[in-house]
């Protein structure tokens, strides 16, 4: 999975690891973006082949040996435990295709949507509101899924229900007026108590639904050995207290920013966490990238025996050490402001193109790859130990 990174991070030595925001007229948070490839601002330290002394990081307590300290054999941290794939609990509940659908849109999810949508529909339409039930909700959700599959998300509703241009399946499920009514009335929380809850939780209106969905993702599938953590902007221009604005995005620049844990073999989304921004008047969160990764992998338990690949916003030596305690290895690119990186690994015009520079600790390997002169990509791994 290759998701763009839109945030500005830090290291374990106090540099801010939260979203970098810029003032925006409508109050929407603006995020800055950094690339994995580091540029040369000034000449770095020339790597000496005949020098066997350790590389010294900018953090004086961290040293990197020039030669591997491990035999290179697979360690316990890379030996997965548990049977990956669809969980026995999920498998036992599936007989038909509809059963698979209901693994994620559980009775609890449907009851929540039906209850609060009926309350809002009655308020908006009075006697003109026809009570929503599970069968109609399934049809409504099916239409939404079909719109996604057919890339019809931006097609006007009138065209979708058009007799000449639309698709018959929409008209077969429900009338256009019924679909519009449900869409306008769709709610996921108790309206009278909302104001008090929103004051302490920006996503209070969708918190319960989000929690139920995350539980379903985790309970129905156990991922294989290789995982990826990154973030993705889901386009959205409606009113929302945690909508993000990312000017570097080529198309949709407004949306909801989600942190995702996905399986590399199947692309299955195993866990999610919605970014809601800084609290009003609150300080920027320190080590946010580390906290997010640890939150997302927590349900895997200990030991896990898996590997997590991360973008440079998340990767740090401190995160790698925390994951090893859970028997999870780490591979990821790093930002040049991480103080565990030696100066010799930063971009330098003295480094030859396509060369690599290695540093080793008992549980980690650090490599700086030079794609072209004046550039460098720094990677940290607790999975690889040889050059």
Tens of pLDDT, residues 197-208: 998 889 999 999
Query: For 38-42, 45-49, 172-176, which range has the lowest pLDDT when averaged over its residues?
Result: 45-49
As for how many domains the chain has, the answer is 2
Question: What is the per-residue pLDDT for 44?
Answer: 39
Question: What is the per-residue pLDDT for 250?
Answer: 80
Asked whether the predicted pLDDT for residue 344 surpasses 70, the reply is: yes
Instruction: Please give the C-alpha separations between residue 249 and each of 31, 242, 246, in angstroms, as whole numbers.
Output: 10, 18, 6
The answer to whether residue 24 is domain-embedded is: no
Single out the residue of 41, 65, 77 nearest to residue 305, CA to CA.
77
Confidence of residue 251 (pLDDT cuts 50, 70, 90): confident
Query: For 129-133, 168-172, 176-180, which range has the lowest pLDDT when averaged over its residues?
Result: 168-172
* CA 16 remoteness from chain centre: 19
Q: Which two tokens stand for residue 36?
A: 């994995």
Question: What is the per-residue pLDDT for 79?
Answer: 75
- Enclosing domain of residue 364: 29-84+223-381
Residues 142, 192, single domain; the answer is yes
pLDDT (tens digit, 9 = 90+) per residue, 22-35? 434 445 666 656 66
Mean pLDDT for all residues in the chain: 86
Q: Which residue has the tokens 């104001």?
A: 195
Cβ proximity of 233 and 255 under 8 Å = yes
Query: Among 198, 215, 245, where does a domain finish?
Result: 198
The C-alpha angle 148, 150, 155, rounded to 5 degrees, equals 80
Residues 185, 164, single domain; the answer is yes
Rounded to the nearest 10°, the torsion over CA 203, 326, 59, 373 is: -80
Please, which residues have CB within 8 angstroms of residue 365's CB and are 6 or more apart in sequence?
A: 68, 358, 359, 380, 381, 382, 384, 385
Asked whether the predicted pLDDT for residue 305 surpasses 70, the reply is: yes
Question: What is the per-residue pLDDT for 1?
Answer: 45
Residues 358, 248, single domain; the answer is yes
pLDDT (average), residues 13-24: 46
Instruction: Please give the C-alpha separations between residue 193 and each of 29, 199, 205, 362, in angstroms, as whole numbers.
Output: 26, 11, 10, 53
pLDDT (average), residues 74-99: 86
Question: What is the per-residue pLDDT for 80?
Answer: 77
Single out the residue of 155, 171, 152 nearest to residue 163, CA to CA.
171
The answer to whether residue 315 is domain-embedded is: yes
Query: Among 148, 183, 198, where does a domain finish?
Result: 198
Residues 119, 95, single domain; the answer is yes
Asked whether the predicted pLDDT for residue 281 surpasses 90, the reply is: no
Residues 74, 106, single domain; the answer is no
DSSP summary character for residue 18: S
Question: What is the per-residue pLDDT for 3?
Answer: 42
pLDDT (average), residues 281-287: 77
Cα–Cα distance measured from residue 305 to residue 298, given in angstroms and rounded to the nearest whole number:
13
Q: Reduce the DSSP state of residue 367 to 3 states and report it.
A: strand
Asked whether the predicted pLDDT for residue 364 surpasses 90, the reply is: yes
Residues of the chain with pLDDT > 90, as a percent, come to 64
Burial 220-247 (b: 16+ CB within 10 A, else e): bbbbebbbbbbbbbeeeeeebbebbbbe
Cβ proximity of 130 and 178 under 8 Å = yes
Rounded to the nearest 10°, the torsion over CA 354, 355, 359, 365 is: 30
pLDDT (average), residues 138-145: 96
DSSP summary character for residue 345: G
Q: Reduce the DSSP state of residue 364 to 3 states and report it.
A: strand
pLDDT (average), residues 112-138: 97
Residues 143, 277, single domain; the answer is no
Residues 49, 70, single domain; the answer is yes
**Is the pTM value of this prediction over 0.85?**
no
Residues 33, 109, single domain; the answer is no
Residues 41, 188, single domain; the answer is no
Confidence of residue 165 (pLDDT cuts 50, 70, 90): confident
pLDDT (average), residues 348-372: 92
Cα–Cα distance measured from residue 239 to residue 387, given in angstroms and rounded to the nearest whole number:
51
Residues 233, 371, single domain; the answer is yes
């Amino acid at each position: 999975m290759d998701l763009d990174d839109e945030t500005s991070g830090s290291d374990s030595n106090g540099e801010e690891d939260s979203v970098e925001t810029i003032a925006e007229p409508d109050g929407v948070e603006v995020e800055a973006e950094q690339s994995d490839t580091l540029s040369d601002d000034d000449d770095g330290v020339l790597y000496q082949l005949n020098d066997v002394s350790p590389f010294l990081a900018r953090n004086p307590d961290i040293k990197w040996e020039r030669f591997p300290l491990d035999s290179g054999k697979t360690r316990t941290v890379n030996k997965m435990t548990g049977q990956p794939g669809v969980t026995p609990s999920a498998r036992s509940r599936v007989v038909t295709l509809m059963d698979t659908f209901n693994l994620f849109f559980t009775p609890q999810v449907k009851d929540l949507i039906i209850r609060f949508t009926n309350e809002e529909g009655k308020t908006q339409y009075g006697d003109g509101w026809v009570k929503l039930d599970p069968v109609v909700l399934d049809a409504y959700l099916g239409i939404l899924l079909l719109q996604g599959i057919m890339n019809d998300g931006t097609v006007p509703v009138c065209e979708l229900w058009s007799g000449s241009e639309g698709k018959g399946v929409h008209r077969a499920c429900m009338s256009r007026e019924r679909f519009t009514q449900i869409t306008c009335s769709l709610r996921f929380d108790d309206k009278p108590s909302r104001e008090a809850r929103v004051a302490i939780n920006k996503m209070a209106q969708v918190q319960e639904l989000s929690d139920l969905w995350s539980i379903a993702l985790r309970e129905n599938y156990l991922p294989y050995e290789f995982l990826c953590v990154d973030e993705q902007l889901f386009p959205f221009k409606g009113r929302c207290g945690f909508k993000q604005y990312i000017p570097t995005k080529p198309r949709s620049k407004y949306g909801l920013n989600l942190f995702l844990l996905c399986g590399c073999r199947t692309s299955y989304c195993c866990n999610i966490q919605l970014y809601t921004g800084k609290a009003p008047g609150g300080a920027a969160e320190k080590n946010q990238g580390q906290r997010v990764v640890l939150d997302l992998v927590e349900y895997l338990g200990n030991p896990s025996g898996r590997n997590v690949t991360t973008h440079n916003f998340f990767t740090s030596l401190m995160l790698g050490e925390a994951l090893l305690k859970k028997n999870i290895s780490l591979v990821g690119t790093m930002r040049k402001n991480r103080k565990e990186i030696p100066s010799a690994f930063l971009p330098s015009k003295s480094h030859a193109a396509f060369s690599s520079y290695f540093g080793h600790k008992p549980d980690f390997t650090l490599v700086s790859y030079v794609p072209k002169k004046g550039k460098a990509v720094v990677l940290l791994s607790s999975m690889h130990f040889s050059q």
